[in-house]
Amino acid sequence: MTEEEIRKLVKEEWDKYFEKYYVRRYPTFTITGGGPTKKHQKYEFGLTTVQEQLLHFYEGGRGKLSSNKSFEIYSGHDVDVNNGKVTGEGDVAIKLECKNGRIHIEAKASDIELNGRNISLVASNNIYLKADKHIKTNSGADTEMIAGADFTADATKELFINGGEQVGIHCESEVIHTSSGLDEFMAPDFYQDVTPFHDESIPSLSKIDSYNSNEG
């Protein structure tokens, strides 16, 4: 290649990656834009400190904010911010919203805490709670659980219901059915006749078998 061809090739490559490149270095931080990155598209804006703390925006719509120890956001200092009287009322002081995609919050080595006067979880479809060990709820007054359709409480080992004063079980349109796992062996015909949750021909009535089976 001639010198002119080499200069042309170098210029084409430079323009390809650094046409809008900008960098300005200061003693404690660097500001850059338009240049390539290791893991993302080009910088639109990048502020990086000497300790690798950063505020970055990349082409393609990605952004990153990172600190080495902690990050704090404060808002609502004005005395005229309305706190509201009940859940859902009052001014919004901090808002997190994504129009598409998930919101992922994770503490890899410690806990996640939500503290407030009231905490409301509202889902247009479902709410799932899963713990590898224990789920514990504790209220200072009443605890109320209402299901618009079926309500199922199932325990692999023990299910204990205790009332300090009274325990009431009421069925509005049917009699109350109780059964034991021994009934199926000691009186199978009687067991299937009096227990409506053991009809294998009707899936909705075979709840006892489905919940107690290994595949249930």
Residue 9 lies in a domain: yes
Average pLDDT, the chain: 84
pLDDT band at 4 (very low <50, low <70, confident <90, very high): confident
* 103 domain-assigned: no
Residue 186 structural domain = 154-216
pLDDT digits (tens, 9 = 90+) for 43-84: 999 999 999 999 999 999 999 999 999 999 999 999 889 998
Domain assignment present for 123: no
Domain end point (choices 69, 86, 117): 69
Domain boundary among 38, 69, 100: 69
Domain total in the chain = 2
Q: Is the pLDDT of residue 87 over 90?
A: no
How far apart (Å, rounded) are the C-alpha atoms in residues 137 and 119?
A: 14
Segment 172-186 shows an average pLDDT of 71
Is the residue at 46 inside a domain?
A: yes
Q: Which DSSP string corresponds to the chain?
A: --HHHHHHHHHHHHHHHHTT-EEEE-SSEEEEESS--SSSS-EEEEEEETTS-EEEEETTS-EEEE-SS--------STT----SSTT-S--SS----SSS------SSS-----SS------SS------SS------SS------SS------SS------SS------SSSPPP---TTHHHHSHHHHHHH-TT--TTSGGG-HHHHHHSTT-
180 within domain boundaries = yes
Judge whether 105 lies within some domain: no
Is residue 192 a part of any domain in this protein? Answer: yes
Instruction: Tell which of 43, 69, 95 closes a domain.
Output: 69
Q: How far apart are CA 205 and CA 192, in angstroms?
A: 11
Mean pLDDT of 147-153: 84
In a domain, 45, yes or no: yes
Q: Is the pTM of this model over 0.85?
A: no
Residue 216 · residue 152 · CB < 8 Å: no
pLDDT in the model for residue 55? 97
Burial, 162: exposed, middle or buried (Cβ in 10 Å; 0-12, 13-18, 19+)? exposed
Where is pLDDT greater, at 207 or 158?
A: 158
Whole-angstrom distance, CA of residue 46 vs CA of residue 54: 7
How many angstroms separate the CA atoms of 48 and 26, rounded? 10
